[in-house]
Structure 1
């Protein structure tokens, strides 16, 4: 097993979240909002989609070295499972579920004169003897087989839940909604997996690589940008925001000067300069980056670092304002009068009462960071060009949309998956805000 830098940070983040969950699961002020969230159908459906994307990202974060004799590069568990579509490259563009290339070529056969036509794909639909007559029925049959497999797995999970917990899952509307969503995701996923073994379900790109594989691989990049940037941003925002609001005076002045200076620097220029510095360093130390995967991972890590350094100022300002209000509360004044150390006051009285702002900001900022990666990659200052990301797919689709006939499926696939992830994150963020915001809590 090989642990990349971003893999290690993801494991640390999961460990921290797990420890916080077990530490706070008995706290009423923490449990009550989550109970409210669990009663919202919209929140639970969004959470199911987020967990689905997260599971794919985690599978793509377990890396090892390939045992292929011709290629000993670093691959992930997701790559290993997706070998049928990862290794089946065509010559060039092909449309979704196509059996022929998208552009005409000069076809030369031994028993015929050369002619212009659409050559058959090497892998997509290659099992069909008569494409025009057999393809539609074959797609329906394999889609139905995948649907049955996915539905069977979800039904088994439903009855396992019923048997283990001793309750009927149809009696709870929220649980019913969750399993309905799981049924849709499971059956759809199995359908796509079954079909992708025989067809390129979302077509291929200019070099013949499967677009469905690219889109699935891009999930990890979006999740890494959203989660690791938050992991870097939170300590800076929490520490500086609370210190500025509690101590005021010269401490407040210094911290305000720091984040005001950062806000005055155009973020795009700062990110571009940082990425160029990383590229120069990797070019001068090539012996440290013998693998393309390691080089791309290092650039992704530095992109998370620079986004985290430049995006903590907004949350810091909100925490400063909230701390200025909390330090004047009676219980804080009483603690100071009794001689309680300032560190204890910050930890026991200030920090717990600003965590609702932190949680709300984290969930709301996640979707904006995913979109930021797409924008930065579109202007070529984002992730490495060899990294699978929705931004790189959109960037590559610019020229494809200008050709005739139009190659639309790369842009459509990246837009659909990114839209689904961002929409689920935004809907879940709304529910978290309503549950944790004290001003919205009804007596």
Structure 2
């Protein structure tokens, strides 16, 4: 008779991401913020089905129409439905936010890994460039670059301006150029610590090339920094786009954004406060949601936090 031996219980191994996810689920503010963000994403995706009107349809008889049954959030200076424009504006804000965050995080991670891993002259060049850029006030330079793109006669830029979404591409490029330095500094500091650990020395002793060490052994250990900074970068990009559009240097009409809606309401905010209140509320709610989610992710990945 054969006796079947019981198999020993398998030890449950929890990855850093699994532990962070469980900790994040306990962070109530972050989960509420995540729910709001997911709702905004769904609204942006299904904007043509949700919006009651075309965002550019004008009704000159309903200029500054008060909120009511036909127009729940009122009408703007050209009689356009405010709710429809806010819904469609979420598309541009989220597009700018996510695109800038992705490009900035990828570029910042690349520069930070190169600077931290190779050190020496590579580190000096990248670090000095970052310090110079961080010493320059961003907003005036962003305004200058946006204005130069608007009046440039370079054929490639002129052709780009013919596209209705050209200002979106320009804003994404400008914000990406200024947005990667913070991530690069954090990644560099972490790589300086990681590259001296034993597992990196072991990989190097086994003949692993620099590229493989950076991609397979260093970058996976930077996931926490990348995720947290990417989340915070989305909110920063949305707020920055709104600021430039409000000043008239950002995304131009007829493309609907929350920033240029605020710009159009600038002169009538006292007589018709709802024209500025609702797009401002949308910006505030979105940016706060991303910032609170970023704070929750930072606490979830930090083993010292009390979650």
The answer, yes or no, to whether TM exceeds 0.5 is: yes
Structure 2: unaligned runs, 5 residues or longer: 1-12
Per the TM alignment, residue 341 of structure 1 is displaced from its structure 2 partner at its CA by: 1.9
Shift in alpha-carbon separation, 1:274–1:348, aligned structure 2, 3 A: same
- Structure 2 counterpart of 1:366: 234
Q: Secondary structure of the residue that 2:266 maps to in structure 1?
A: helix
Identify if the C-alpha distance between structure 1 residues 78 and 307 changes in structure 2 by more than 3 Å, giving closer, same or farther: farther
Q: How many residues align?
A: 294
Alignment correspondent of 2:17 = 30
8 Å Cα contact 2:101-2:231 kept in structure 1: no
1:344 & 1:352 partners in 2: Cα distance? 12
- Counterparts of 2:84 and 2:139, CA distance in 1: 30
1:94 to 50, 65, 81: 65
Structure 1 residue aligned with 2:8: none
CA distance in 2, matches of 1:221, 1:284: 26
Cα distance, 1:266–1:43 mapped onto 2, change above 3 Å: closer
Distance 1:290 1:246, change over 3 A: closer
Higher RCO structure, 1 or 2 (CA under 8 Å, sep 6+):
2
- The alignment status of 1:274 with 2:245, answered yes or no, reads no
- Runs of 4 or more, structure 1, over 4 Å off, are 281-291
Contact 1:90 1:204 in 2 (8 A): no
RMSD between superposed Cα atoms in Å: 2.8
Deviation at 1:340, TM superposition (A): 2.5
Kindly report which structure 2 residues correspond to 1:128-167, keeping only aligned pairs within 5 A, or say none.
none
The residue aligned with 1:58 is 45
Moved more, 350-359 or 32-41: 32-41
Structure 1 residues 367 and 342: CA distance shift in structure 2, 3 A:
same
Separation (CA, whole Å) in 1 of partners of 2:203 and 2:156: 54
Q: Give the match for residue 220 of structure 1.
A: 91
Cα gap change, 1:265 to 1:281, in 2 (>3 Å): same
Separation (CA, whole Å) in 1 of partners of 2:73 and 2:148: 36
Contact residue 232 and residue 305 of structure 1 kept, 8 A: no
Residue 408 of structure 1: which of 273, 283, 294 is its match?
273
Partner of 2:9: none
Unaligned runs of 5+ in 1: 1-25, 61-76, 98-194
TM-score normalised according to structure 1 size: 0.60
Q: What's the CA shift for 1:280?
A: 3.2
Aligned match of 2:116: 245
Distance 2:178 2:91 in 1: 22
For residues 44-55 of structure 1, what are the structure 2 equivalents within 5 Å? 44-55=31-42
Match of 2:125 among 227, 247, 254: 254
Hey, what does 2:5 align to over in structure 1? none
Matched, 1:429 2:294: yes
